[in-house]
Structure 1
Amino acid sequence: MSDPTAPAAPPSLADFACFGLYGLTDNPYRQAADVARFGRLYDLVVGPHGGVGVGSTFHPYQLVRPAGVTVWYAAFAQLYAQPGRAALFGALAEEQARYVVAPPASFADFHVWPDARLTSAANPVFSRYIPFVLPLLVRKGPGALRWDTEAAAATAEPERFRAYRDAVNEALRFVQPQPAFVLGFAEFDEQHPERLIDRFIAAKPLLGPL
C-alpha cells in the first residue's frame, strides 16, 4: 500500500507537450537571457500554463541531435537535474510557473534531416528567408493555449488576429530582431518531424520569388 504522505513523484516528459513558435529570419540561431521578456512572450503565446523555454531560437535542423535527442528533451533534463526539482515541478503544475534554461551547446551544430527540403539547395528561398523555431515545453492541462484561442477567432475577426500576431512579433524582438517574423505556433511531433518542415513549405507562396 502506498504511503499517502510520501511526496509526489516529479512528472515525466510525457506530462509536457513540445511546442515551437516558428517563423523566418536572417539568423536562426540567437540566444537571449532576458527572463522577464521571455515571460511576457510566453504569456502572450501560451497563457496560464506552466512551462519551460529554451533561451535560444534554432534552425529546425538544430532541434534534433543525430542520436535522436531533441532540444525539448534536453530542456526537461536540465530542469530535472536541479536539486530542488520536486518544488520546481510542483510550481509548474500548481502555480503555472515558467522557467528558462540555457541552450545546450551540443545543439549549436546543424544536422540535416533525411527530409532536406529546408536546405537552400532544395529550396533557394530558404537562403534568404531562413526558418527558425523557439522551443517551448508546456505542462499539459485542460485549458486552451492563448495562440489557439486567438487563431480560433481569426475567421470571425481577422483584424484581431493580425493585431495579435503583430504583438507576438514585437514581443519576440528580444531574441529575434527585425526582419524576423512569426508564421505560427504548433506542437512538434518527434515521430513525424517532417510535419514541421511542411509548415515552412506551406509558407513559400507568401515569400514571392527569390
Structure 2
Amino acid sequence: MKKYIAIFLFFLLASCQDSPSNYTTTLFNGENFHGWEGDTLNIWRIENEEIVGGSLTETVDHNYFLVTKDTFDDFILKLKIKLLGEEGFVNSGIQFRSKRMSDPDYEMIGYQADFGEGYWISLYDESRRNRTLVAPDSAQVLEWIKINDWNDYEIRAENRRIRLYINGHQSIDYTEADETIPQTGLIGIQIHGGGKAQVHVKEITIQELNNTQPN
C-alpha cells in the first residue's frame, strides 16, 4: 500500500509543478509599464487597461517601440490589437527576437509580426534585411481581419520556425534558413512613423516553451 501511495504522491506533485512548456504569464498588468521601457511621456500611455501608442491628430514622426526588459526565445505570445487611423502610413506590429539599435536609438532590429494595410499578418525583418520574409494571401487575410476593431494576434516561435495567427486563422509558416540570425531577444510593440495612427494593445500573455523540435 505504501508503495502505491508513494507513486500517487509523486505523480501528483509532478502534475502541480509549473514548467516552461505549460506556464503562461501576463506581460502587461493593465495598470503600469512594469517590465517595459519606451517613451511613456509622449508616445505610450495606458487607457482603460490598454497600452495606447501614437496619435490620431498629429503625424507620428518616426517609429516608436515599447519594449520588454526581458528577453525570450521559444514561446507562444497572445494579445489583442486594434489599429486606428486614416491619414498617412497607418501601420503597427509586434517585434520579437529583437534588440534595440544604437543608431538611430529609437529603432529596433529583428522579426516583426506586421499589422497594417498591405502588410496584414505578414512577417517582416525590421532594420536587418528590411523586407517582408513571407506574407499571406492578401484577399484571404482581409476576410479574417477586423478593421478598426480588436483582433486576436498570436505568435508562435519554436526553434527556427515562426507561425502567425489572426483571430484563429494561421497566416504564415516560416522557417529561418539563415543560422546567423538570432533566435532570442526582446518583444516590442511598434507604432510606425509617417501617419496619424494609434495602436491599442491589451491582454498580453506569453507561454515559454521547452526547446523541443517543432511540430
Q: TM-score, normalised by structure 2?
A: 0.29
User: Between Structure 1 and Structure 2, which shows a larger proportion of helix residues?
Assistant: 1
User: Between Structure 1 and Structure 2, which shows a larger proportion of strand residues?
Assistant: 2
Higher relative contact order (CA 8 A, sep 6+): 1
Q: TM-score, normalised by structure 1?
A: 0.29
